[in-house]
Structure 1
Amino acid sequence: MAKIGVEYSLQNVQQALREKGYDVVNLSKEADANGCDMCVITGLDSNVMGMQDTVIQGPVIEANGLTADEVCEKVAQNLQ
C-alpha cells in the first residue's frame, strides 16, 4: 500500500487511512515527508509567503473543510 504523510493534528484522517490499509506517517517536520507517495495537510498555514520548496514528488491534499472519508476518497483518486 501507499505511504501517506499526514499532519499530526489530523488524527481522524490518520485513523481512517490506516483502517483502509494505508501506511500512514505522522508529519511533525518537513523531513518526515521524504519517501511518502503523497501528503495530507490542514492547509491552514500552507504557502503563507508564496514560496514553493518541493519536498515530495507526489500530490499534496489540503484537508481543510473535508471529512476524513472525503480525504480518503481524494487519496484513492490520486493513487489511481
Structure 2
Amino acid sequence: MCCVTPTYFCHVFKRSTGRTLTEYVNMLRVQEAEALLRGGRHTVQEIARMVGYSDAGYFARVFRTCKGISPGRYARGGEAAGMMT
C-alpha cells in the first residue's frame, strides 16, 4: 500500500523512533495492561489476552522487561525498581 518493503519500513521506523516496531507495539500493550491491572477486575491471564498476548507467561516476561516488576505484583500495588518506559 505504501510501496515500501516491510524490512525498509521497519528500518525507517527504528531510525525515526529509536525503537523497533516490536518494542513499540509491546510498549503500547503494556501501557494498556497497566490501566487494566489498576482496575483490578481481571486476572493477569485475561489481561494478557485482552492486550494481544495468547501466552500469559510471555506477557509477564514482556511486562517485567518494560516495567521492572511482574504484572501480578503491579496489580497488587507494588512499586517497580526501575521503570523503562
Which TM-score applies when normalising by structure 1?
0.31
- Structure ranking higher on relative contact order (CA contacts 8 Å, 6+ apart): 1
Higher helix share: 2
Q: Which structure has the greater CA radius of gyration?
A: 2
Which TM-score applies when normalising by structure 2?
0.30
Higher strand share: 1
